[in-house]
């Protein structure tokens, strides 16, 4: 192994099998693509691009918060006892590295990881400083020497509208469709968006919420973690359907479709209404996360990494670059 970077500090990071952190003999993997024997894998949340592909038959230890673990058992059929559960604020020790999950505000159970060794590194995973109606927002973003920040919406062109306004628009659309005698059907990701949509209708309307598809399986797995009022249908009277896909429908019933995703700010669908409801921080939210952590250096991953790094330097005056694939000493 050839290590690069300024001398002195022994703590190194790289983008390899997920995000790898090494300090002396101690090594951990954050959101890796696969598990490794004898190396802890820490999973921020249960979206598939953050979960080891072999988690159904892992060869190394895997850790996640209880809500993330519950979803992983349903979605990825993990063996009994996998992943090991670690609650928000509990600290795991791996040799001289300590790791503490903190709420990330992205989807139920989603965590940032604070890694403490020779320096403090905050890995945000997917993050949303506002949280949502169904997601605990980060109660604090700890000051850190290094931040590794996601960049999904890391471009100034990817600012999202006020999410409370979007929630109201979703409910108004569904109510008007229902008044016309049709059934409103809203498609969103099964983890995160579906629960946010259910909670939105629970909070802002008295419509019955029918959940179907994988969204139903994931929502059921989160019973006990998120307080949601929903049914499995078929739905009587005025109701709204939330699903991860547009379901086939009974002959004779009229449906109107909508999609809920932040990506409609980039491309609007032709055949459905569209609402820019996002579980991610937008461009300004990502800058806020970095500013609150107040690091010496910010390393960007996943998405618009170059654009976000440029903005962090220009807007915040904090050194920033995409996390390299070669070992890098950030301090």
Whichever of 117 and 125 has its CB closer to Zn ion, that residue is 125
Q: What angle do CA 56, 108, 52 make, to 5 degrees?
A: 25
DSSP summary character for residue 309: H
CB atoms within 10 A of CB 8: 9
Which of 171, 148, 145, 173 shows the shortest CA–CA distance to 308? 148
Return the range that interacts with Zn ion (CB under 5 A); candidates 26-34, 44-52, 202-210, 308-316: 44-52
Is 130 near Zn ion (CB under 5 A)? no
Least distance CB 153 / Zn ion (angstroms): 12
Segment (H or E) for 219:
helix 214-221
What is the DSSP pairing of strand 84-85 with strand 92-94? unpaired
Return the range that interacts with Zn ion (CB under 5 A); candidates 4-12, 40-48, 64-72, 135-143: 40-48
Least distance CB 192 / Zn ion (angstroms): 7
Q: Which pair of tokens denotes residue 318?
A: 């904090």
Q: Is the dihedral angle over the CA atoms 49, 40, 131, 126 positive or is it negative?
A: negative
Whichever of 47 and 239 has its CB closer to Zn ion, that residue is 47
CB atoms within 10 A of CB 284: 15
Residue in the block written with tokens 């992983």: 72
Contact map string, positions 137 to 176, toward Zn ion, x by CB under 5 A: ----------------------------------------
Whichever of 295 and 303 has its CB closer to Zn ion, that residue is 303
Whichever of 36 and 126 has its CB closer to Zn ion, that residue is 126
DSSP secondary structure letters along 182-229: -EEEEE--TTTHHHHHHHHHHHH---EEEEETHHHHHHHHTBTTB---
Which of residues 47, 75, 167, 193 is near Zn ion by CB under 5 A?
47
Segment (H or E) for 67:
helix 66-76
Return the range that interacts with Zn ion (CB under 5 A); candidates 31-39, 43-51, 91-99, 134-142: 43-51
Return the range that interacts with Zn ion (CB under 5 A); candidates 78-86, 124-132, 249-257, 262-270: 124-132
Q: Which pair of tokens denotes residue 42?
A: 């820490």
Whichever of 125 and 295 has its CB closer to Zn ion, that residue is 125
Report how many residues bind Zn ion under the rule CB under 5 A. Answer: 2
Contact map string, positions 77 to 116, toward Zn ion, x by CB under 5 A: ----------------------------------------
The contacts of residue 80 (CB under 8 Å, 6+ apart) are: none
**Local structure of 6: helix, strand or coil:** coil
Whichever of 11 and 281 has its CB closer to Zn ion, that residue is 281
Return the range that interacts with Zn ion (CB under 5 A); candidates 62-70, 125-133, 204-212, 258-266: 125-133
Least distance CB 129 / Zn ion (angstroms): 15
Is 31 near Zn ion (CB under 5 A)? no
The C-alpha atoms of residue 23 and residue 13 are separated, in whole angstroms, by 9
Whichever of 33 and 255 has its CB closer to Zn ion, that residue is 33
Whichever of 53 and 254 has its CB closer to Zn ion, that residue is 53
**Local structure of 303: helix, strand or coil:** strand
Return the range that interacts with Zn ion (CB under 5 A); candidates 65-73, 121-129, 216-224, 265-273: 121-129
**Local structure of 277: helix, strand or coil:** coil
Is 126 near Zn ion (CB under 5 A)? yes
C-alpha distance across the termini of the chain, in Å = 20
The C-alpha atoms of residue 110 and residue 43 are separated, in whole angstroms, by 9
Return the range that interacts with Zn ion (CB under 5 A); candidates 122-130, 138-146, 265-273, 303-311: 122-130
Residues lying near Zn ion in the complex (CB under 5 A) are found at: 47, 126
């Amino acid at each position: 192994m050839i290590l690069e970077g300024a001398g002195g500090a022994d703590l190194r990071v790289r983008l390899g099998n997920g995000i790898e952190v090494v300090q002396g003999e101690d090594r951990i993997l954050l959101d890796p693509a696969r598990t490794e024997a004898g190396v802890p894998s820490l999973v921020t949340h249960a979206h598939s691009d953050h979960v080891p592909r072999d988690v159904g038959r892992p060869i190394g230890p895997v850790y996640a918060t209880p809500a993330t673990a519950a979803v992983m058992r349903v979605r990825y059929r993990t063996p009994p006892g996998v992943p090991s559960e670690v609650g928000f604020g509990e600290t795991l020790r791996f040799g001289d590295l300590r790791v503490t999950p903190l709420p990330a505000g992205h989807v139920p159970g989603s965590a940032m990881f604070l890694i403490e060794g020779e320096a403090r590194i905050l890995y945000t995973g997917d993050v949303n400083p506002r949280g949502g109606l169904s997601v605990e927002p980060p109660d604090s973003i700890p000051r850190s020497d290094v931040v590794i920040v996601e960049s999904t919406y890391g471009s100034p062109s990817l600012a999202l509208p006020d999410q409370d306004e979007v929630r109201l628009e979703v409910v108004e659309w569904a109510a008007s469709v229902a008044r016309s005698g049709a059934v409103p059907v809203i498609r969103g990701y099964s983890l995160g968006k579906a629960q946010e949509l259910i909670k939105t209708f629970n909070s802002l309307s008295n419509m019955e919420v029918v959940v179907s598809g994988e969204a139903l399986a994931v929502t059921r797995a989160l019973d006990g973690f998120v307080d949601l009022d929903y049914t499995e249908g078929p739905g009587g009277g005025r109701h709204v359907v939330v699903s991860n896909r547009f379901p086939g429908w009974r002959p004779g019933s009229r449906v109107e479709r909508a999609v809920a995703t932040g990506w409609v700010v980039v491309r609007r669908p032709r055949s459905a209404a569209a609402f820019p409801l996002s579980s991610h921080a937008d461009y300004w939210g990502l800058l806020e996360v970095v500013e609150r952590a107040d690091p010496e250096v910010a390393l960007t991953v996943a998405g618009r990494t170059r654009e976000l790094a440029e903005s962090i330097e220009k807007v915040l005056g904090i050194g920033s670059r995409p996390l390299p694939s070669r070992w890098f000493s950030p301090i």
